[in-house]
Amino acid sequence: MTRIGVHVHEGDPLEQAEAIGAAAVQFFLGDPQGWKAPTFPREPDALRAAFADSGIDGYVHAYYTINVASPNNRIRIPSRKLLDQQLKAAAAVGAKGLIVHGGHVTSGVDLDEGYDSWRKAIERIERPLPMLIENTAGGDGAMARGLDAIGRLWDAIGSAADDGGGEIGFCLDTCHAFSSGEDLATIVARVTAITGRIDLVHCNNSRDEFGSGRDRHAGMESGQIDPAVLVDVIRAAGATAICETPDAAADMRWLRAKLG
């Protein structure tokens, strides 16, 4: 049975997941808009043991500020350091994976420079748990907007990913894919053909129209995506699903009922 969960923004993630009956929970370890070292809702070893006892799967979302593709040394180098810290912190609390955005290069910079920066990051950063790269909705210089970009990213990191440094997986965001102009009816098969796997799905509807490039999540039944298509994506992916919507608990229950 597919495990369905929610993203929580603050407080103790495990306590909140248990309170609403979630099978999985995603959370931040610190301010997602900041650059500071990770912080913990409780002592890491205690949280790790509590997750193991609960049977609930935990996922950590890395900070939004991380951009290892940036051509700016003052962003790229601290991003690598912070990504390394986030991976170690997520492993310390017993998370199943760390989700990170693909990042972007600035206007006028060749995309190949960003992909090469990703390759170097993969070579240099140890991964004590699966690092799940998430597709993004918009941005001309984005490394993971649309399947063509994701294909280029996987080509760039492929050899480095086999170096024994730890698993690299994929997180599929349905809102992001829709907003980037990708057909959700076939998205699972097409992503899997590139990455070989889908480890996690961010199941979100979109407030904006197809191909808008905007990243604005909507509830399961209140967006521009046919809700039945979202259910089909979850079934096809066969991976844990996380709702990152305004009323994630209600959407989790709706999705669970639809999946049966």
The kind and range of the H/E element at 140 are none
Give the separation between CA 239 and CA 125, rounded to whole angstroms. 26
Q: Which residue ranges of the chain lie beneath pLDDT 50?
A: none
Residue 142, SS3 per DSSP: strand
CA nearest neighbour of 223 among 234, 209, 242, 203: 209
pTM: 0.96
Number of domains in the chain: 1
What range does the domain containing 109 cover?
4-259
- Which amino acid is it at 33? Q
Q: List, in order, residues 6 or more apart from 69 with CB less than 8 Å away.
A: 76, 102, 103, 104, 105, 114, 115, 117, 118, 143
Give the separation between CA 94 and CA 189, rounded to whole angstroms. 30
**CATH number of the domain that 139 lies in?**
3.20.20.150
Q: List, in order, residues 6 or more apart from 242 with CB less than 8 Å away.
A: 4, 5, 6, 7, 24, 25, 26, 59, 200, 201, 202, 203
Residue 73, SS3 per DSSP: helix
In the chain, DSSP assigns E strands to 4-7, 24-27, 57-61, 97-101, 131-134, 168-173, 200-202, 205-206, 217-218, 240-243
Other Cβ atoms less than 10 A from the Cβ of 45: the count is: 12
Residue 7, SS3 per DSSP: strand
Residue 159 confidence (pLDDT): 72
The DSSP output letter for 226 is -
Residue 164 confidence (pLDDT): 61
